[in-house]
Structure 1
């Protein structure tokens, strides 16, 4: 016979079991992605406990009332059965959101927000991609199923069949006390509510994703607009002296070559020069190649404004999907159009994918070519869009119809998950050591075919080609690609046929936002622009990016991690690529100089983005 218990004991036992499962899932997340967290301590899990308590507190406020409200209904077995199942379903759903990031974290380097979970801007692709996700990463639904099963059976062991009657005064005090405690758990007990940025206070640099949990991120970003704060580290005049985004270019005679920018999906630095990309490797030897190239974001949707408009990704939401998406911008399309260029953007995925067509319109491109505009042999990959080889051939043919000079950008798709390649090429390329490598090899082959076709056109020798990856991939095997420096390292190269001056291997730190000013310099245009990057001919040597609420700055050999308030780490990343030796207390002069520069950079960006002043004519 079951011993009777009061409703408070029943509720607290269910909460405690739920908390244990959250902690167990975090430990599982750690072991699943252990290679990304080479340096952790107990504070990571202590901080994680606070974020788990926050989610459990908010999710269970209503259940506290339903469990503890003094009424005879508490003795009703049907009521208690409904209460059990609703508690299980609600807590089970939130808990299992964490499993999405077991894999997705490897792609984006942070916990998923609401917009990521709902695949904002990818409505056409989402059905096929979810199906592929569950097939390719079958272990995730398996883990979800096993976890829910265990959670269900362990909850069942907390018997509710016999409820002990308690005095009404005790029940009311219990209800009020528990609701207050749950509210404080959800909010946090500090002066301000617990927030995502607080995760950086626990554990070493780069462990915020382990401290956080996915349901907390989803709740904090639910239908939330990105709102940048005006930050005043310095007076405006001083900030402008330290860093100004306004640059002038003066040349005697323009060099109006055609410009073709190719953004390669997931071609991170870890995927090249290892046998998978023979064509790109050979092209590097004939190009102006940046050995230390960096992405400015971790998502494809970050790469386009960075590459085309020289706007870094310094927000928790990508510019294209933020409430600043319609800001006035003066990127390459508008600048080159003013100099007589025809402009176009190509992306082989569904039209509307990641809102690239909307951004192309805002950025000033004349034409957008997506899956709808593709003309050629049937070539749908079944999930995402047109296979790279056929779409690149379509691209080459279209370029031939454009009046010179032209500027065109193409974004490849085939090396994106689920990494589908045409049936006729199955077994033709090396599988490599990770799931992306075969599709990388296929895309490299497609790139080779494009250049073979382009060589036969009248515009080829009068063109500068810029090739960059959008971001790193999820499958870098080496530890150097898994910290906050390596997560952003990508190949960037400028290839100009018959221009010997553009054959060089540069060790300068170079980023996607440097492409725009570099092209203006190379094309010898006379203009004054607003850019957060610098020309390849500049003496400056900085790179700025942002992930997990940390600003990352590389200048020369040094990397600084800054949380918006204080610097957390300083490393000589070239001598110490695994970032083991924190120099923050040893190299104070370097730390102070880098922090000063980064503060002025952030102040300028936040002000101009929030006030729609990203062009020199913005009001």
Structure 2
């Protein structure tokens, strides 16, 4: 019985969580958006299985409460341990405050957040150590804060689940995860859409009242701190339930198998759904976006890809010339906006080498990135299909054996590699590229002597290029052509790179410095490559993965998707291709330049062909856009569609083909043809992925 009383913080908060979840299910069941009737059996299933799921989820959710409670003790303040612990905390605080800790490699606010946390922890420990007579009082207020925080999170989650249901008629999905990514836009939308002050005022008031009653029933834990033996028993019980919950939660989720979708949604636990959304990274296009009959969608796609038939994208690509098996080096540059370059209006001279190289290349002046994350750019140049709702295919489970540029090159007898200066496990790149037939060369492949500088993202670009030259020299000896895809890392926060390379020091963490060092490294790479025997027989493809930032005045600001891209080879004729095109078109165009004959599944097209119809795809994780005929069409969840007339915002001293900025004016009269075409592209891309029709041949 005594042990049961010591569990009071757990079961009191647990009972409160179950009551809130029960009431939330009733509210959602009666909500107007829940357009369904339920049998007695279905209702029983919703609440009974829902309660079971809630129990196991709360057990996992209680981990931090257990961690906090189990470390409450008086003995740690006894001499000498109290002073040793305090000294360690102060040392850790000073280390983080020095600005030279490993945390500073991440940049942003992360070091400050950790510093504040350690500072508070150090201050509280000092108070409890030096003021033993006030220890009980201080401990009570800390305990109050922890209980208050748990109650607030439980209520906040219930309110969030309600508004999410009110918006979409489902529990959390990838859109909820997306809300954490686009915090500024989401908070702005919430502030404009809901009475935030009254809601949060009521929320804090209710939290305070509930906390008061839970404290009355639970403070026995801190009034008489459990003994070591009692803590051991509590821990054994909790850890046992924790392990059982890890196994039971996914099993309970399998019971969400009703033909009535609302039964499954209401039965589910929102927090676990959020975890699944974060893990699975996808949105079901057919559930959340505007659709047309699949036959019509593929018929419209056939107008773009004239030789396809049926509900797939398989077609024969034929050239009228002999195939040219030159080596191909594809370099995707991290966070490289078009407006960094001189031609697009930049006056800072931060890309002198690429400005020069572009004049000797086939330059694509009007190319748009598909997204605003590295994995989207890699997906675009590797799989050459429009971005689909949710996370990039690279980070999904079903990401292997896809039809890819690497597969085409392998068919033609090439060695195929993906080179990355960081750890390829990051962003699931290792899994994706190795699962699609690429050999991986990443930081783990470097010897200690090959690394002259590195930060949290990996080795500097110079080191990566030095390694690439070594690898390509070895490949050249095999009498086989090579296709090597290099992903750069230096132009990324914290923007640190070796000093004394450019006129901007590497330790001041400057965006302009990151761009200029990236340019400097490329110049060094081309300088080394030009001395190699394979250089004359190599095509270099240079493109950004995405722009440096994505925020703008509109949902999909065009200038935040415009990226530079060009193809260079010693014997190539310098010219400009000014056609509107997508990142997914770049590699099919290169394959066309090599006169490859192959069976294709690509949505991307050779833009140099006479039958190419200009268009570009741009997207976030949930807004899917098509640029065509000077109109931007955007598909959004809840089957929403918006269209904007694009009006050029002309910038003086910039040539017409390099103009970046457009005003997006909402169309009063929709262009139905463009809406259907946009739906066609995104629906068919989602369909072939869902039906596993985008696997390699």
Give the distance between the partners of 2:118 and 2:445, measured in 1 at CA.
42
Q: 1:530 aligns to what?
A: 601
Shift in CA distance, 481/413, structure 1 to aligned 2, threshold 3 Å:
farther
SS for the counterpart of 1:407 is strand
Alpha-carbon deviation of 1:616? 6.5
Question: What is the aligned counterpart of 2:441 among 353, 365, 369?
Answer: 369
Cα displacement string for residues 256-298 of structure 1 (whole angstroms, at most 9, x for unaligned residues): 2111100111112232223111001111111111222222222
Which is richer in helix?
2
The 8 Å contact of residues 499 and 505 in structure 2, kept in 1 or not, is answered as no
SS for the counterpart of 1:364 is coil
Q: 2:521 aligns to what?
A: 446
The 8 Å contact of residues 128 and 383 in structure 1, kept in 2 or not, is answered as no
Shift in CA distance, 598/483, structure 1 to aligned 2, threshold 3 Å:
closer
Alpha-carbon deviation of 1:147? 12
Residues 199-238 of structure 1: pairs in structure 2 closer than 5 A: 207-208=185-186, 210-211=188-189, 220-222=274-276, 223-229=278-284, 231=286, 233-238=291-296
The 8 Å contact of residues 541 and 555 in structure 1, kept in 2 or not, is answered as yes
Q: 1:400 aligns to what?
A: 473
Alpha-carbon deviation of 1:609? 1.2
Give the distance between the partners of 2:506 and 2:454, measured in 1 at CA.
19
Q: 2:215 aligns to what?
A: none
Per the normalisation by structure 1, the TM-score is: 0.65
Alpha-carbon deviation of 1:353? 2.9
Cα displacement string for residues 34-56 of structure 1 (whole angstroms, at most 9, x for unaligned residues): xxxxxxxxxxxxxxxxxxxxxxx
Structure 1 position 187 matched with structure 2 position 165 = no
Give the distance between the partners of 2:316 and 2:187, measured in 1 at CA.
40
Q: 1:297 aligns to what?
A: 371
Alpha-carbon deviation of 1:456? 1.2
More RCO (CA 8 Å, sep 6+): 1
The 8 Å contact of residues 285 and 389 in structure 2, kept in 1 or not, is answered as no
Task: Return the index of the structure with the highest Cα Rg.
Answer: 2
Q: 2:488 aligns to what?
A: 412
Give the distance between the partners of 2:353 and 2:534, measured in 1 at CA.
21
SS for the counterpart of 2:557 is coil
The 8 Å contact of residues 391 and 621 in structure 2, kept in 1 or not, is answered as no
The 8 Å contact of residues 571 and 579 in structure 1, kept in 2 or not, is answered as no
The 8 Å contact of residues 529 and 616 in structure 1, kept in 2 or not, is answered as no
The 8 Å contact of residues 281 and 390 in structure 2, kept in 1 or not, is answered as yes
Cα displacement string for residues 33-79 of structure 1 (whole angstroms, at most 9, x for unaligned residues): xxxxxxxxxxxxxxxxxxxxxxxxxxxx99xx9xxxxxxxxxxxxxx
The 8 Å contact of residues 559 and 572 in structure 1, kept in 2 or not, is answered as yes
The 8 Å contact of residues 432 and 438 in structure 1, kept in 2 or not, is answered as no
Q: 2:90 aligns to what?
A: none
Per the normalisation by structure 2, the TM-score is: 0.58
The 8 Å contact of residues 558 and 574 in structure 1, kept in 2 or not, is answered as no
Give the distance between the partners of 1:181 and 1:300, measured in 2 at CA.
32
Give the distance between the partners of 1:187 and 1:480, measured in 2 at CA.
29
Question: What is the aligned counterpart of 2:106 among 119, 122, 133?
Answer: 133
Q: 2:301 aligns to what?
A: 243
Q: 1:499 aligns to what?
A: 572
Shift in CA distance, 507/182, structure 1 to aligned 2, threshold 3 Å:
closer
Residues 566-585 of structure 1: pairs in structure 2 closer than 5 A: 566=639, 568-573=641-646, 575-576=648-649, 580-585=663-668
Q: Any unmatched runs of 5+ in structure 1?
A: 1-10, 12-60, 66-81, 87-126, 161-178
Structure 1 position 540 matched with structure 2 position 513 = no
The 8 Å contact of residues 370 and 380 in structure 2, kept in 1 or not, is answered as yes
Give the distance between the partners of 2:486 and 2:423, measured in 1 at CA.
14
Alpha-carbon deviation of 1:411? 0.8
Cα displacement string for residues 540-574 of structure 1 (whole angstroms, at most 9, x for unaligned residues): 21112321521111114221222155554323335
Shift in CA distance, 605/235, structure 1 to aligned 2, threshold 3 Å:
same
Structure 1 position 287 matched with structure 2 position 262 = no
Q: 1:29 aligns to what?
A: none
Alpha-carbon deviation of 1:486? 2.4
Give the distance between the partners of 1:247 and 1:212, measured in 2 at CA.
46
Cα displacement string for residues 154-189 of structure 1 (whole angstroms, at most 9, x for unaligned residues): x98xx99xxxxxxxxxxxxxxxxxx99984663336
Aligned residues, how many? 472
Question: What is the aligned counterpart of 2:411 among 338, 348, 351?
Answer: 338
